[in-house]
Amino acid sequence: MKENAGIHIVAGFPGTDFGNELKFLIDEVRVGGLIFFKHNFTEPVQLAKLCADVQSRALKVLGRPLFLAVDHEGGRVQRFGKPFTIIPPASESGKSIKTVSDYAKLAATELKLVGINMNLAPVTDIAPPEPHQFLDKRTYGNNPQKVTSCIIEIIRIYLSEHVIPTIKHFPGLGNAEKDPHLTLPVINRTLDQMLEHELVPFIRAIEAGAPCVMTSHALYPELDPVLPATLSVNILVELLRERLNFSGTVISDDLEMGAISEFGDFESVVHLAMEAQNDFLLLCHDIDRVSKLPEIFSARSSRKTFLEYHEKSFPRIKKLYSLLDRSAILPDLRKVREYFE
Determine contact, residues 23/288, Cβ cutoff 8 Å: no
Identify any residues that bridge with 21 across adjacent strands, giving them in sequence order: none
Sequence-distant contacts of 263-267: CB under 8 A, at least 24 apart: 263/227, 263/228, 263/231, 266/292, 266/296, 267/292, 267/296
Determine contact, residues 169/216, Cβ cutoff 8 Å: yes
Q: Is 181 a catalytic residue?
A: yes
Q: Is 310 a catalytic residue?
A: no
Return the DSSP state at 180: T
Q: Report CA-CA distances (Å) from 127 to 141, 225, 254.
A: 6, 23, 22
Return the DSSP state at 250: E
Return the DSSP state at 197: T
- Catalytic: which of 224, 253, 254, 279? 253
Catalytic residue set: 181, 253
